[in-house]
Each structure stands twice: as C-alpha cells, then as structure tokens.
Structure 1
Amino acid sequence: MLNLLKVAGQMQGISEQLQKEAKQLADKLSRAEILFQSAIANQAQLTQNRQQWSDRLAFNCAEPMESLQEIRVIPPMASPHTVLATDGSQIAPSRHEIAYCYLINVGRVALHYGSGAYPLLDSVPEVYYKPEDLYGARKWGIQTEEWMTFKRTVAEAIALAELAEVSLPTPTETTHEVYPILALSDGSLIHWELDPLPKEARAKILPDILSAWERLRNAGIPLASYISSPRTVEAINFLRLQACTFAQPDCATHCANKLLDYVPCSQVQPLRDATLWNRLLQPGECSPLWHSHAPILQEYGDHDIYFCYLHVGSEVARIEMPAWTALDEQLRLRSLSLILAQVQKGYGYPVALAEAHNQAVVTGSDRHRFFAILENQMIKSGLRNVSTSYKEARKRGSIA
C-alpha cells in the first residue's frame, strides 16, 4: 500500500525542481526564437549544410520542405466525411499463469459524418501460443514481452488497412459525391524502436507494416498519425545548424570530445519542437512540412515520413504522414482539416483514436476471465494439474 504521507513530503522538492526547469526553459525558448528568425534568412544554406554534412552530425536533423515562414490556417472539415482508426492492447505473458501465452486486442473504429451510416465500434482479439510466437525472437536477444509489442504494432497497421478496404469511399446515391476518408493512427509512424534490432528481426516486423500502408495507398486512402505531447527535437536540431559557430557543421571533428552542455549548438537543448511551435502558432495554424531523416527510414522505401505541427487549440500535436499523403498538397491539407475536426469533436483529442483505445483496452477483470476461459478449455481437453503458480495464488488471496 502506498504511504501518501511519505509521498507528500517529497512533493516540495519536485515543485522546486520544476520551477527551476521552467525558468531555464523560458530562457532557451527565447534563444530558439532568435535562432529561428535567423534561420529564415539562411534556410537555403542551412539545408545545404544538412545535406552535405549529414554523416558528420552528432544529432538527427529534419529538413524543412517549405519556407520556415509558411504557416497555414487549417479550417476544420465541416462537410460529410469518414475517419478510421485502430489501437491495440494486450494481455502480457506470465510464467505464473496456467499457460504461457499472450493476447493482442485491436480496437477498430469507423466514424461516418453527414452520411447517416452507422459507426463501427468493435475489437479483434488474437491469442498467440505457438513456440515461434513465444520464443522465436529470443535468438536475437528479444524478450517475449518486447516482441509482443512489435506484433501489436503490426496488428494495428493490418487492421487499419483491412478496415479501410471495406470502407472505400463510394458515390452517394443522390449526389454521386465521394466523401473524404482518412485512416488515422495513434503514435509515430517512424518506428524508432526497431532501429536497434538486428536486421533479421526487423524483417519480421517492418515489411508487414509497410505492406499494410501500401494497401492504403492502393485504395487511395490517406494515412496520418496523431502524436499528443510530442517529445521529438528534429526541428529544433535544424536550428542547431544555425547556432554552430564553425564554418562547417562537422561535429565529429570539432566537438567529438566535448560534453553536450559545452558545445556551441547546445544553447537550445533540451527544448522540444512542440514547445517552440506553441510559441509560433495560433490555434488552427499549421507549421511548414518537414522531412524526417531518422535512420530507420532508410528501410521505408516509398513510404518515407514527413511531419508538421498543428495547433489544435488544446495543444500542439505532431502530425506524421507517409510521402504519398504528405507530398500531395491537397490530400495533406484535407487530412489536417479532418484531424482538426476530430480534435474538436473529441474535446481536445481525436474522438476516433479515443474510441479505438476504449475498444482495445483490456481491463483487469477481462484478464481474469480470459484465463478462466483458458482453464476451462484446458480441463475439457483432458489436461490435469491446471493451476497458477503458488506466488500468483498467494497474491490473489492476500490476508492483509
């Protein structure tokens, strides 16, 4: 049991630390604005420096695809449209349960506005129990729990593609108008977590995700992801090129032996992209389009990822799109308009993503019922000595 009295005694220290960090953040934000204004005038040279010295930079740096002054006003979509979304949850494997297996539950949502069609709100569960699902990744040093999260990411992408294919926009009977449709994902499309994996392990995950995206592209349905409270610094790192005091931004030569806090370009660290754009954007406005250069994107092929920052009123969110959505200006602006409408309908967060999460979530009681069903099935199959470990049984029957 948590002793709240002891916790309360530590809160003052947290408050003082946060107050100190807030003052430092304000100072760094002012410096970042000055660098941003300078970068506007030097954008072409900075872009050239990034391209020429990318292999010598000590940080990952995005590249603006439009003028840094290109700020657009995005009107929320008011005409009939459809938004699709998926999200996942799981029951993790435990050696203390009656069987070592795991479950992935993918929530699916299709919301139709202005057409009179009924929404789809359901979930698709799948149980993984075969040895290749439980132990196959251990040869790469990946634990089952971590591999389960990768499998969930794949399941979410495939479910979104399947949902899109059965929700293809068709002309209405009366007006023959095709309603806009958007496939919306929660979290980043840049799977940074796959970068440190062995190539053989990535080959079991990434191609399935890209294949699902290809199905969306073939269906003509744009894909976008919504990242709430983003922590990325790819755009801020572009300003580090402006802050560099050397003729060439050759980090490996000039700053290899220096600590981060003592290099010339660290004056805006650890400021985040969203913090800067929160100062530069008004509600309903969108930043220029940026091209990410995350290392993992080298394996994305035609599905290279672009992003922008959208002030939705409640926060500045990062919106990511694959190249075939982002580089089609009409498609990109329509997707942003749909996202903004979703945030307004969801009172600060896209309603489709919130409902997909609600459909996917697995509660504690769901977990108990899952293992109860499994226990009954095992007994029906003739298995004996079906029970949890003594540790799990003791935890469930505490006398405290």
Structure 2
Amino acid sequence: MPINYQELQPQIHTLGEHAVQREHSLRERREQVLRLLQQAAAQPQRLRERIELAALQDPRLRCAAPAAEGLTLHRPPPHSDQPRTLLAADGSQIPPDRHAAVEFALLNVGLIEMHPQEAAAPQEHITTLLLADDEDHPTGAPLTEEAVENRRDILERQVLARRAAQLPGPVVALTDGPLELFRETGQPELRQYLDELRSLARLSVITAGYVEILKAQLVVRALELLILAEDELSRAAQLRPLFGVDDGDLFRGLLDVGERSAVFALQSNRAQSYKDELALHFFYLNVGRPHQPYLARVEIPAWVAQEPASVDLLHAALLAQCSLLGSRPYPYILQRAHEVAVVRFEEAEQVLLMLQRELLSRGLDPGSLSNKLYHKQMSHKRTRYGR
C-alpha cells in the first residue's frame, strides 16, 4: 500500500518544530563543550584522573585521553617532504553462504604503491585468498561473516608489511577504517592481527587508519566526565549530559583547512589489548576547503604517535592525497585500492564453477544452490560485493 501522506504531513510539521528547539539546546551544549575543552587544556592532569577513575568503575567507557600535546593544539600543514613510498591496502570479500552450492569465502586485497617524489604511475598488487573452513577454531567450526571480515583486516596488514619490507623508508601505509578491531574475535585472530601490527612497527612503517567521521564523540565523551558527579562515574558509559554534541561540532570550529588537532590516546576496554608500541592514538584532520570543513579521524599506533616527524609526514601525505579528489576529499590512494579490491558477482560465480569442477574431478558431489537462493537471485541481481 502507498504511504498515507495526509497522515504523515502533520507529523513532519511537528518534527520540524522539535528540530528548531533541539538546535537551540545543542547550540548551548556546543558552547559548553568548548568551555570544557579550554578548562581541560589548562588542567590536563585533572582530566586524566577523571578518565582513569571512571574507567576503573565502568570498563565500558570509550573516550579520548590527553597525550603529550596540548588539547587545544591546531597544527597547520607541516613543511614536510612527501614520503619516499606511499602504500594503501583495502579488502573486499565474498562472505560464506550456506545456501550456495559450495560453501566458501574469499578475500581480495588490493595494494596500491605510489612514489610521490617520482613521476611514475601507481603500481597495483592483488592478493586473493580462498577460505573453506575456520582453520583457527579448535573444533573446525564453520566460517562466519564476522570471522571473514577479521581475516580481511589481518590480510590487509600482511600485504602492507610484506611490501614495506622490500622498500626503503620512510614508508607511509594507509588502511580504511579504524586500527582497532571492533568485531568479536577469537584469541588466535586477535594475536595474529597484533602480530601483523608489530611487523609494521619493526619496519618503522608510518601506518594509519583513515576514518571519515560523522558522529564520533571520543573527545566530547571525555569532557563529559568533568561535569559528572563522583557517584555517577560508575555509569559514565551510559550517562550523556552533552547528548547530541559530537567531536565534529567541536573541531570544525577549531581547525582551519589543512590543520590537525592534538594527538589523543584512546581509552577503551578493547584498546587494552594494544599495548606498548601498539597503543592506539588518533588526531582529527580538516581535509576540507575554506567555508567547507570536512573532518577525518586518523588512527595511529604509539610508535607513530611518539615521533613528531612521522606524524608530520603522515599529515602532509594525507593532505596531498585528499586534494586529488576535488570537492569530495578522500585519500586518492585508498580509493584506488578499493577499486582494485572489489569482487564482482561474475567473478564470484567463476570461482564457484572452478570449485565445482574440482570436486567433480575428484568424484565428489559439487552440490547445488538452495531454492531460496535461486529465487532470490532471479528477483534481484547485484553486480559486485562491497565492504
């Protein structure tokens, strides 16, 4: 049935009225957040103590924490050379499907290599990995989509480390999304992921995860702790006195075009697995244009965060890359890696045919897709797998 527009119209009108009231309240909260940031910049140790106390009482707390730089720092574009080599890896996957004729998963990672100081065209490298079961699971459990995505993140770091080991430094290596694994992981997966990060650390690779932020609240969540009562800290992860205000609201007004924020540490229960040189940090970067700010969160490990020259080199490289895509800034090399990694449906169908032929050649039943999947494919034809 069609939408009842006559019934919907007064609801839209009410929503508009509430939006005006909400914007007025948000404006006051944004001003309060800015004042809290100024207070915290003058007394960073007090903020650190509040974060430590709240995290002890509520391990679910996830927020920013002061690091070495002043909290109100806004560093202009550095006068830094481009790195000798710039790498980016992005992955795509065919998830396991129990309705398919043969249940399998596939990872495809595209690696782009650029030498900014030279005129050579970018180089493309592709790594493809077929997965048929969960080899890390002690009982041989079937693959889940979540496990495949974790393996993709591991493989992205593997191909970066493998290529970086063959190159002279300095090397900047980018991936799309956070460095921290958010999905549920088994201990073998997490250990393998951390081992790949350590490989990059041993090579002194300037590695970073590029995150387009829309509603991140890491710094705001930390500042909220300054206005919570002592007996409220045990519920710090739940209480939101500044609800509706995000880090973008704060830093769009603080960072001019090309500027970055201070480097912050990351406080979270999951982040405790990332210790010593792997400890997670981040900064915000305005990659927009005059009167059109656009913020990204750049996640970096401690071995990068503790080297100002490395942060400057990363800062300069990201600005140069984002400038290549015009009014929709995003690192060009990451976009290229994504384009290379994408798996199209006809390619997935070809892999399935290859698997079926292999099974037939060995006298095994190649299987057939379920009736449900057959009708689903007949009614809706997609063209490619996305991340």
User: In the alignment, which residue of structure 1 is the partner of 2:50?
Assistant: 49
**CA shift digits 1:46-103 (9 cap, x unpaired):** 2233334531257333211222232210247564632101111111111221111111
Q: Do the aligned partners of residues 249 and 293 (structure 1) sit closer, same or farther apart at CA in structure 2, a change above 3 Å counting?
A: farther
3-state DSSP of counterpart to 2:205: coil
Checking the alignment, whether the CA contact within 8 Å between 1:186 and 1:225 is kept in structure 2 is yes
Instruction: After superposing the two structures, state which structure 1 stretch, 129-138 or 146-155, moved more.
Output: 129-138
Structure 1 residue 137 displacement after superposition: 7.3
User: In the alignment, which residue of structure 2 is the partner of 1:358?
Assistant: 339
CA distance, structure 1, for counterparts of residue 106 and residue 253 of structure 2: 43
User: In the alignment, which residue of structure 2 is the partner of 1:295?
Assistant: 269
CA distance, structure 2, for counterparts of residue 186 and residue 285 of structure 1: 20
Q: Do the aligned partners of residues 239 and 162 (structure 1) sit closer, same or farther apart at CA in structure 2, a change above 3 Å counting?
A: same
Q: Do the aligned partners of residues 76 and 131 (structure 1) sit closer, same or farther apart at CA in structure 2, a change above 3 Å counting?
A: same
User: In the alignment, which residue of structure 1 is the partner of 2:357?
Assistant: 376
Q: Do the aligned partners of residues 62 and 11 (structure 1) sit closer, same or farther apart at CA in structure 2, a change above 3 Å counting?
A: farther
Structure 1 residue 130 displacement after superposition: 3.6
CA distance, structure 2, for counterparts of residue 121 and residue 24 of structure 1: 50
Does residue 85 (structure 1) correspond to residue 88 (structure 2)? The answer is yes
Instruction: After superposing the two structures, state which structure 1 stretch, 185-194 or 21-30, moved more.
Output: 21-30
**CA shift digits 1:181-237 (9 cap, x unpaired):** 20111111122334xx5xxx1x21122122212222222221111101254322112
Q: Where does structure 2 lack aligned partners over 5 or more consecutive residues? A: 381-387
Checking the alignment, whether the CA contact within 8 Å between 1:76 and 1:341 is kept in structure 2 is no
3-state DSSP of counterpart to 2:33: helix
Structure 1 residue 127 displacement after superposition: 0.7
Q: Do the aligned partners of residues 10 and 277 (structure 1) sit closer, same or farther apart at CA in structure 2, a change above 3 Å counting?
A: farther
Checking the alignment, whether the CA contact within 8 Å between 2:82 and 2:317 is kept in structure 1 is no
1:214 to 180, 183, 198: 198
3-state DSSP of counterpart to 1:332: helix
3-state DSSP of counterpart to 1:193: coil
3-state DSSP of counterpart to 2:252: helix
Report the identity percentage.
27
Structure 1 residue 11 displacement after superposition: 8.9
Structure 1 residue 346 displacement after superposition: 3.1
Does residue 327 (structure 1) correspond to residue 330 (structure 2)? The answer is no
User: In the alignment, which residue of structure 1 is the partner of 2:384?
Assistant: none
TM-score under structure 1 length normalisation? 0.81
Structure 1 residue 135 displacement after superposition: 9.1
**CA shift digits 1:268-304 (9 cap, x unpaired):** 1242223311122111111111111211222222210
User: In the alignment, which residue of structure 2 is the partner of 1:152?
Assistant: 152
CA distance, structure 2, for counterparts of residue 50 and residue 317 of structure 1: 24
2:285 to 300, 307, 310: 310
Checking the alignment, whether the CA contact within 8 Å between 1:135 and 1:144 is kept in structure 2 is no
**CA shift digits 1:317-345 (9 cap, x unpaired):** 11111111101111111111111111112
CA distance, structure 2, for counterparts of residue 309 and residue 164 of structure 1: 26
Instruction: After superposing the two structures, state which structure 1 stretch, 209-218 or 85-94, moved more.
Output: 209-218
CA distance, structure 2, for counterparts of residue 37 and residue 288 of structure 1: 13
Amino acid at match of 2:65: E
User: In the alignment, which residue of structure 2 is the partner of 1:122?
Assistant: 125
Q: Do the aligned partners of residues 11 and 309 (structure 1) sit closer, same or farther apart at CA in structure 2, a change above 3 Å counting?
A: farther
User: In the alignment, which residue of structure 2 is the partner of 1:277?
Assistant: 251
Does residue 166 (structure 1) correspond to residue 166 (structure 2)? The answer is yes
Checking the alignment, whether the CA contact within 8 Å between 1:137 and 1:144 is kept in structure 2 is no
2:223 to 239, 252, 275: 239
CA distance, structure 2, for counterparts of residue 381 and residue 10 of structure 1: 63
CA distance, structure 1, for counterparts of residue 323 and residue 367 of structure 2: 50
TM-score under structure 2 length normalisation? 0.83
Aligned CA-pair RMSD: 3.2
1:186 to 170, 176, 179: 176
Q: Do the aligned partners of residues 185 and 10 (structure 1) sit closer, same or farther apart at CA in structure 2, a change above 3 Å counting?
A: farther
Higher percent of residues as helix: 1
CA distance, structure 2, for counterparts of residue 46 and residue 391 of structure 1: 55
Q: Where does structure 1 lack aligned partners over 5 or more consecutive residues? A: 170-179
Checking the alignment, whether the CA contact within 8 Å between 1:61 and 1:238 is kept in structure 2 is yes
Q: Do the aligned partners of residues 117 and 151 (structure 1) sit closer, same or farther apart at CA in structure 2, a change above 3 Å counting?
A: same
Q: Do the aligned partners of residues 297 and 131 (structure 1) sit closer, same or farther apart at CA in structure 2, a change above 3 Å counting?
A: closer
The number of equivalent residue pairs is 367
CA distance, structure 1, for counterparts of residue 6 and residue 178 of structure 2: 37
Q: Do the aligned partners of residues 342 and 249 (structure 1) sit closer, same or farther apart at CA in structure 2, a change above 3 Å counting?
A: farther
Q: Do the aligned partners of residues 77 and 341 (structure 1) sit closer, same or farther apart at CA in structure 2, a change above 3 Å counting?
A: farther
Amino acid at match of 2:148: M
1:68 to 60, 68, 71: 71
